[in-house]
Structure 1
């Protein structure tokens, strides 16, 4: 059985982590397959939004520890430099909106990969766990970069050291995720976000994502310059012209993602 399911429909690429018997924990095969799927999404102009979720009861339990302890298992540095770091950099570099639909537990690298996406939603019964301290490791997959910026230094520090389980309701309250939905409504509600994003001005959304990436390290003056540059680029798109015309004509815009 494939470790990753990948399909495209109506402008949306749906990527499903597919090791449900292992709570979608990552092995090398699944990590490389996810990288390949993200590369495909980046290259395909027909893809205007990406929906990332997990099969079964979990989003991802993080690293498959059985792979690490195997006699021929990869070293930790290999797992980071060849598996997780390339995934996280792709998630941030693809200038298309990515919805992480966290359908169950997201632990370790699984949690931090979800938090690197643009819009993170979860089932009401889902939870997020920085599980690394439980086995003597540090948070990876960008967690030490992303989580403090989402919820603050002190709270992130405590969660990473104590390894507390954060229910989806609390994650939303903290600003860790965008929203949560009742379990029986989750599939429809979370996918509807991807459908909405796929109908929006894709280039503009991509430039917004680029601006946010810059904002993580820029001072105000530099960020204002970046906004000037990217706004000028957005103003030259077909979707900008369509948006303005639709507003003036008092009709719903029909964006093409160009």
Structure 2
């Protein structure tokens, strides 16, 4: 397989490393240090609790909140912390103009001593745990989508309880373009939510949705004018956070209980397929072509 040829591997790393450098990043950097965060243990997030709301803000605005390996781990930790704190609801949003641009380029440069097979195995286990954290999250979980969303940040939205989006937001899952496959339980949640044909348009054929289109298909709860987005959404969330917490908690458990085991099985199956895809020639060539296309821009 071309994936195990040393020269191809080196070419892959060199190309991505040069792209990261061209974008002003570092192959070893993990993100911006949050200024004035109430939870200083996080390097890539701003985590605050106020008015019975824990807010997890993706805090790499200069990188369009692209998710590094470290960021995956921090989001898992922040959600686990929020699940047992005193807040009533938990919110995830992004700093700056983007909600999240999907995986960071640097994730593909850190090949461990065990080689690409080990990288795929580690990446698969991290993704499995990441999605599991959303499936099992016990409190009402709200996405405040402040701008464009890409990849896994889109697919996991179907595991949230509310998704509020600005009219500027777009939703894009370019998995087949990168030789990959569905993740975030979307192979189950998307067809169930929007019907088989519309789900395939997104997951197989990379269709990018506007906020209004995503709302019409059930992925987004409500769309707001960009000029009043933050004010309208947070006014509403502060009111929701005054509702009886045990009632919200128990009601969510009832709603999720009918599908929790199924969602875990879907997550396991998707991760297994993705791990295979990451080690395939087809995925390698698709990712290389994508990055080379970006390098020419």
TM-score by length of 1: 0.78
1:77-226, aligned counterparts within 5 Å? 77-82=121-126, 84-216=127-259
Match in the other structure for 1:10: 51
Once the two structures are TM-superposed, the CA of residue 186 in structure 1 deviates from its matched residue by 1.1
Contact 1:62 1:106 (C-alpha < 8 Å) held by counterparts: yes
Match in the other structure for 1:29: 70
Cα distance change, pair 185–33 in 1 and its aligned pair in 2 (3 A): same
- Structure with greater contact order relative to length (CA < 8 Å, sep ≥ 6): 2
SS in 1 for 2:142: strand
Equivalent pairs counted in the alignment come to 216
Contact 1:102 1:114 (C-alpha < 8 Å) held by counterparts: no
Contact 2:48 2:56 (C-alpha < 8 Å) held by counterparts: yes
- CA deviations 1:130-149 (Å, max 9, x no partner) are 11111110021222122222
**Cα distance in 1 for residues equivalent to 2:131 and 2:237:** 19
Contact 2:60 2:66 (C-alpha < 8 Å) held by counterparts: yes
Once the two structures are TM-superposed, the CA of residue 97 in structure 1 deviates from its matched residue by 0.9
1:45-60, aligned counterparts within 5 Å? 46-60=86-100
**Cα distance in 2 for residues equivalent to 1:167 and 1:116:** 19
Q: Tell me how large the CA RMSD over aligned residues is.
A: 1.9
Contact 2:135 2:260 (C-alpha < 8 Å) held by counterparts: no
- CA deviations 1:204-236 (Å, max 9, x no partner) are 222222222233379xxxxxxxxxxxxxxxxxx
Q: Is 1:75 matched up with 2:115?
A: no
Once the two structures are TM-superposed, the CA of residue 63 in structure 1 deviates from its matched residue by 1.0
SS in 1 for 2:87: coil
Q: Which moves more between the two structures, 195-204 or 130-139?
A: 195-204
TM-score by length of 2: 0.68
Cα distance change, pair 106–77 in 1 and its aligned pair in 2 (3 A): farther
**Cα distance in 1 for residues equivalent to 2:215 and 2:177:** 24
- CA deviations 1:118-174 (Å, max 9, x no partner) are 101111010111111111100212221222222122211121111011000111111
Q: Which runs of 5+ in 2 are unaligned?
A: 1-32, 34-42, 262-297
**Cα distance in 2 for residues equivalent to 1:214 and 1:71:** 38
**Cα distance in 2 for residues equivalent to 1:77 and 1:217:** 24
**Cα distance in 2 for residues equivalent to 1:101 and 1:76:** 31
Cα distance change, pair 92–217 in 1 and its aligned pair in 2 (3 A): closer
